[in-house]
Amino acid sequence: MNASGTEPALAAVVLAARTLCPGAGSGMLLVLSEPLSFWGGTDRRTGRVIDAHHPQHGISMAGRVLVMDASRGSSSSSSVLAEQIRAGVGPAAILLTARDAIVALGALAAAELYGTYVPVVLLDAGGAARLRAAAGTANGTTAVVTAGEDGTAGVVLSKPGG
């Protein structure tokens, strides 16, 4: 809080990234503290995290910008992710800190089969640290993700009113 008793606005933070799957998406950030399997760890009909042992259990990914190091588990996760994207209950964008073929395949399948493009981008260690620092505990932090076919991607973080 600042001297006037209000929380200071988050200045826009711009991060460079690499495209794994092209597209554009925006939404409130959902920063996962542990890897997640889409198959068995999320409800394919609602997009909620259903893994009872996951710290974000019960939270919906639908329309959110999902931030995770990488996925966990089964290669079937790609088909679950593709179906969640098709049904409109998947994330609006996915930001990874490690290349993840399963996540990329799910987004690519949704683009090819359903014409629905969810960007998947790779943040470097510095970008991931800046994102986590900017998001911190600030509720309502949003991200706009643009991932081009030329391999360049950008992420703009902001807080409502900021």
| Domains of the chain, residue spans | 13-158
Give the span between the Cα atoms of 153 and 25, in whole angstroms: 12
Give the span between the Cα atoms of 96 and 20, in whole angstroms: 9
Architecture of the 13-158 domain: 3-Layer(bba) Sandwich (3.50)
pLDDT in tens, 102-161: 999 999 999 999 999 999 999 998 988 888 887 765 567 899 999 999 999 999 998 766
Residue 158 a catalytic site member: no
The pair of three-digit structure tokens given for residue 65, joined into one six-digit string: 């910008």
> Of 26, 37, 60, 74, which one is the catalytic site residue?
74
Give the span between the Cα atoms of 111 and 76, in whole angstroms: 17
Output DSSP code: residue 48: B
Q: Per DSSP, what are the bridge partners of residue 25?
A: 145
CB 41 within 8 A of CB 65: no
pLDDT in tens, 58-103: 999 999 999 999 898 778 999 999 999 999 999 999 999 999 999 9
The radius of gyration of the chain's CA atoms, rounded to the nearest angstrom, is 15
